Amino acid sequence: MIKTDVVIIGAGPTGLFCAHQLGIIGLKCEIVDNLDKIGGQCIELYPDKPIYDIPAVPKCTGEELTNNLIEQIKPFNFNFHLSDRVQELKNKNNKWLVKTLNGKEFETPNIVIAGGVGSFEPRKFPTKSAEKYDGKSVLYSIKDKTIFKDKSVVIFGGGDSALDWAIELSNSSKVTLVHRRDEFRGAPASVQKIKELSDNKTIDLITKYSIKDVKGNGSLESVEIKNESGESKVIKADYVLGFFGLIMQLGPIAEWGLNLDKKTIPVNTENFETNKKGIFAIGDICTYPGKLKLILSGFHEGALAARGCFKYARPDEKYRFEFTTASSTIKDRLGVKE
Partner 1 sequence: MAKIKYIEFNGTEHEADVANGLSVMEGAIQNDIPGIDADCGGGMSCATCHVYINDDEWFKKLPEKEMGEDDMLDQAFEPKSNSRLSCQLIVSDDLDGLTVHMPEKQV
Give residues in contact with partner 1 (CB under 8 A).
41, 45-46, 117-118, 123, 126, 157-159, 179-181, 183, 185, 210, 228, 244-249, 263, 293
Shortest distance (Å) from residue 228 CB to partner 1: 6
Measured between alpha carbons, how far is 34 from 120 in angstroms, rounded to an integer?
7
Q: How far is CA 155 from the centre of its chain?
A: 23
How many Cβ atoms are within 10 Å of 237's Cβ, its own excluded? 25
Shortest distance (Å) from residue 229 CB to partner 1: 11
Nearer to partner 1, 243 or 272 (CB): 243
What letter represents residue 231's amino acid?
E
Q: Check: CB of residue 270 under 8 Å from CB of residue 304.
A: yes
Nearer to partner 1, 30 or 44 (CB): 44
Nearer to partner 1, 6 or 11 (CB): 11
Q: Check: CB of residue 111 under 8 Å from CB of residue 280.
A: yes
Sheet holding 29-32, edge to edge: 79-81, 29-32, 6-9, 110-113, 279-281
Instruction: Give phi and psi for 198, each to the nearest 5.
Output: -75, -40
Nearer to partner 1, 1 or 292 (CB): 292
Shortest distance (Å) from residue 40 CB to partner 1: 12
Measured between alpha carbons, how far is 173 from 170 in angstroms, rounded to an integer?
5
How many Cβ atoms are within 10 Å of 188's Cβ, its own excluded? 8
Strands 210-217 and 219-226: antiparallel
Shortest distance (Å) from residue 117 CB to partner 1: 5
Measured between alpha carbons, how far is 157 from 211 in angstroms, rounded to an integer?
10
Nearer to partner 1, 118 or 302 (CB): 118
SS3 call for 17: helix
Nearer to partner 1, 24 or 240 (CB): 240
Nearer to partner 1, 104 or 123 (CB): 123
Shortest distance (Å) from residue 285 CB to partner 1: 11
Shortest distance (Å) from residue 53 CB to partner 1: 13
Nearer to partner 1, 162 or 306 (CB): 162
Shortest distance (Å) from residue 41 CB to partner 1: 7
Give the closest residue to 82 by CA, choosing from 48, 47, 43, 46. Answer: 43
Shortest distance (Å) from residue 79 CB to partner 1: 28
Q: What are the Cα distances from residue 325, in Å, to 20, 104, 322?
A: 15, 38, 9
Q: Check: CB of residue 239 under 8 Å from CB of residue 130.
A: no
